[in-house]
């Protein structure tokens, strides 16, 4: 019997891929690395961190940066590999338990429906050195597109999982059948509304609504009727309310992040739902606005027993992702 592990399952650590000059971060590499330093330090203070890097010089550079910040390098682990970009959530391994032992599932990553080159990213999981076995699953699926609790309720969006740029030959029934088998899903919570401008992922669930524990979902709430997201996010909220009533779930609203724009005036997908749950803390993206304080306080309501740590993530949304997107938790027994 397979069981997809919720994010709060006890972790060995977290995996990230450090940006470099041959990734899309090149034009804002200095700012991006500042975020990665803050993120790495926060993770290393709680648990292990596996950093992917390109070569010896890059690894030395990363270690020097983290040494300067006073990070706990005893928890730092590195592996040198090629990668197109740094969105570890979507090309990293997805861990299940089978007979109480971890197994890493390696799904195909196609750059969110062929939008970006992803050949090296797609090869990463098979190439890394693991303690647990790795199994290839020949369908397209990204880690950011699914959320699950401990009893097998899987939360996702139809805009992503049913998009023809992923698995055009598979129907909703086909996908549900496969994920019941691979993940031990008991029931599907489909959202048919909710999307952020500037999001390349076709509405990944981790930008919109997240399981915080067995019975709590935190979600993005838009209360500004003048915001272009208002109608769709209000419809998503109504869907969540119906699902919550059906499955005895508690909803915790997170504020809609203040609008941020790139140099061409295009809106960026800032979201407070893109947090990372770890053993002793929850890392929350912050964007340098007054909304940050409200987001952190709402997160504390959703995670009363965990420390909430804000990590400045404004540079990350300039490449259309945030904190959760660049990380992948690794449960105990994986490394």
Tell me the per-residue pLDDT of 158-176, one tens digit each, with 9 for 90 and over.
999 999 999 999 999 999 9
Backbone angles phi, psi at 309, to 5 degrees: -120, 120
pLDDT at 69: 93
CA 20 – CA 26 distance, rounded (Å): 7
> Residue 311's domain is classified under what CATH number?
3.75.10.10
What average pLDDT score do residues 306-332 get? Answer: 98
Average pLDDT over residues 2-23: 97
Helical H segments across the chain, by residue range: 29-44, 56-68, 88-91, 111-114, 119-127, 158-161, 164-167, 172-183, 230-247, 291-302, 314-317
Tell me what pLDDT residue 114 has: 97
Split at pLDDT 50, 70, 90, the class of 61 is very high
Who contacts 304 (Cβ-Cβ below 8 Å, separation ≥6)? none
Range of the domain at 146: 2-331
User: What proportion of the chain, given as a percentage, has pLDDT over 90?
Assistant: 100
How far is 108 from 122, CA to CA, in rounded Å?
6
Which pLDDT score, from 0 to 100, does residue 39 have? 98
Site of tokens 């724009």: 261
Q: What are phi and psi of 283, to 5 degrees?
A: -90, 120
Structurally, how many domains does the chain consist of?
Answer: 1
Residue 287 — very low, low, confident or very high, per pLDDT cuts 50/70/90? very high
By the 8 A CB rule, do 189 and 153 touch?
yes
* Chain segment 219-229, per-residue pLDDT in tens: 999 999 999 99
Summarised one tens digit per residue, pLDDT across range 250-267 is 999 999 999 999 999 999
């Amino acid at each position: 019997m397979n069981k997809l592990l919720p994010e709060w399952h006890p972790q060995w650590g977290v995996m990230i891929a450090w940006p470099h000059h041959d990734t899309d971060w090149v034009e804002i590499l200095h700012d991006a690395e500042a975020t990665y330093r803050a993120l790495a330090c926060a993770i290393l203070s709680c648990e292990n961190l596996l950093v992917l890097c390109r070569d010896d010089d890059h690894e030395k550079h990363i270690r020097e940066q983290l040494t300067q910040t006073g990070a706990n390098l005893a928890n730092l682990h590195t592996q040198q590999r090629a990668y197109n970009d740094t969105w570890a959530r979507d090309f990293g391994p997805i861990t299940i338990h089978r007979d109480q032992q971890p197994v890493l599932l390696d799904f195909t990553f196609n750059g969110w429906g062929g939008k970006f080159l992803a050949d090296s990213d797609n090869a990463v999981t098979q190439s890394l050195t693991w303690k647990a076995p790795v199994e290839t699953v020949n369908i397209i699926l990204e880690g950011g597109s699914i959320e699950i609790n401990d009893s097998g309720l899987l939360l996702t969006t139809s805009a992503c999982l049913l998009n023809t740029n992923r698995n055009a030959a598979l129907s909703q029934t086909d996908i549900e059948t496969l994920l019941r088998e691979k993940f031990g899903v008991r029931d599907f919570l489909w959202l048919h509304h909710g999307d952020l401008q500037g999001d390349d992922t076709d509405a990944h669930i981790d930008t919109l609504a997240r399981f915080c524990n067995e019975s709590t979902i935190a979600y993005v709430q838009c209360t500004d009727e003048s915001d272009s997201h208002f109608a769709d996010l209000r419809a998503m909220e109504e869907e969540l309310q119906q699902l919550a009533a059906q499955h005895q779930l508690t909803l915790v609203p997170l504020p809609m992040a203040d609008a941020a724009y790139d140099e061409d005036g295009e809106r960026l997908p800032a979201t407070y739902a893109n947090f990372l749950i770890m053993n002793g803390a929850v890392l929350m993206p912050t964007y340098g606005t007054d909304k940050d304080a409200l987001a952190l306080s709402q997160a504390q309501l959703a995670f009363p027993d965990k420390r909430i740590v804000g990590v400045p993530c404004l540079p990350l949304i300039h490449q259309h992702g945030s904190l959760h997107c660049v990380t992948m938790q690794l449960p105990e027994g994986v490394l």
